[in-house]
Chains A and B, each alone.
Chain A
Amino acid sequence: MLNITNLHSSIEGKQILKGIDLKVNAGEIHAIMGPNGSGKSTLASVLAGKPEYEVTEGTAFLDGKDLLDMAPEERAREGLFLAFQYPVEIPGVSNINFLKTAITEIRSHRGLPELTSKEFLKLLKDKQELVELKSSLVNRSLNEGFSGGEKKRNEILQLAMLDPKLAILDETDSGLDIDALRIVASGVNKLRTENNAFVIITHYQRLLDYIIPDFVHILYDGRIIKSGTKELAQELEEKGYDWITQHETGTV
Chain B
Amino acid sequence: MKQGLYNNFYKYLVDSFDKKQAALTYIESANLTEKRNEAFSIFKELGFPTRKYEEWKFTSLAAALKDELQLMIEHDHSLINTNRIHSLDAVHLVLVNGRFAPELSDVLPEGITFYDTQATMAEIRFEDKISTLATEDDAPMLALNTAFFTEVSVLEIAAHAIVEKPIHVSHVFTVNDIAEFVPYRMLVIAEKHSEATIIETFHSDSLVHPLFVSYVCEQEIHESAILNTHMINTLPENAYFVQHREVFQYRNSVLNNSNIALSDVTLLRNDLNFQLKDVGTETNLIGAYILTGDQHVDNHTLVDHQSPNCNTNEVYKGILLDTSHAVFNGKVFVRPDAQKTNAFQQNNNLLLSDQATVNSKPQLEIFADDVKCSHGSTIGQMNEDALFYLQTRGIGEEAARKLIMQSFIFDVISKIKIESLQDYVSDLLNKKLNTENLTVA
Contact = CB atoms under 8 A, between A and B. Distances in A.
Interface string A101-125: 1100110010000000000000000
- Residue from A72, A91, A105, A141 having most chain B Cβ neighbours under 10 A: A72
Contacts of B391: 49, 71-73, 76
Interface string B396-435: 1101100110111111001000000000000000000000
Interface stretch (A82-90, A189-197, A239-247): A82-90
A93 B409 CA distance: 11
A90 B393 contact: no
A50 B397 CA distance: 13
B388 A72 contact: yes
Nearest to A101: B395
A202 interface: no
A182 B245 CA distance: 59
Given A88-B386, A88-B389, A101-B403, A73 B410 contact: no
Contacts of B177: none
Given A51-B384, A101-B403, A90 B389 contact: yes
Nearest to B411: A92
A84 B414 contact: no
Nearest to B389: A88
B414 A50 contact: no
Given A91-B411, A92-B408, A92-B411, A76 B392 contact: yes
B91 interface: no
B390 interface: yes
A30 to B, nearest CB: 19
B396 A90 contact: no
A234 to B, nearest CB: 32
A101 B407 CA distance: 14
A172 interface: no
A201 interface: no
Interface string A65-97: 000000111011100011010011011110000
B385 interface: yes
**Contact-residue size bin, chain B (C-beta under 8 Å from the other chain):** 20 to 34
Interface residues of A, number: 28
B105 to A, nearest CB: 36
Contacts of B383: 88, 90
Interface in B339-398: 383-386, 388-397
A48 interface: yes
Contacts of B403: 90, 93, 98, 101
Contact of A105 (B394, B409, B410): B394
Contacts of A48: 388, 392
Contacts of A106: 394
- Residue from A73, A81, A87, A93 having most chain B Cβ neighbours under 10 A: A73
B260 to A, nearest CB: 16
A46 B101 CA distance: 64
Contact of A82 (B392, B395, B406): B392
Contact of B393 (A49, A92, A162): A162
A94 to B, nearest CB: 9
Contacts of B395: 73, 98, 101-102, 105
A144 B220 CA distance: 39
A82 B388 CA distance: 11
B394 A162 contact: yes
Interface in B287-316: none
A50 B393 contact: no
A77 B394 contact: yes
B410 A92 contact: yes
A158 interface: yes
A88 B410 contact: no
A147 B385 CA distance: 19
B186 to A, nearest CB: 33
A170 to B, nearest CB: 11
Contact of A72 (B392, B404, B408, B410): B392
Contacts of B407: 90-93, 141
B365 to A, nearest CB: 31
Contacts of B397: 71, 73
Contacts of A92: 406-411, 414
13 contacts: A49-B388, A50-B388, A73-B392, A73-B396, A76-B391, A76-B393, A76-B394, A90-B390, A93-B407, A98-B393, A101-B403, A102-B394, A162-B393
Given A73-B397, A90-B403, A102-B390, 6 more contacts: A50-B388, A73-B395, A87-B389, A88-B383, A90-B390, A102-B394
Please give me the 9 A-B residue pairs with the lowest Cβ-Cβ distance, nearest first: A92-B407, A72-B391, A76-B394, A102-B393, A88-B389, A92-B410, A105-B394, A106-B394, A73-B391
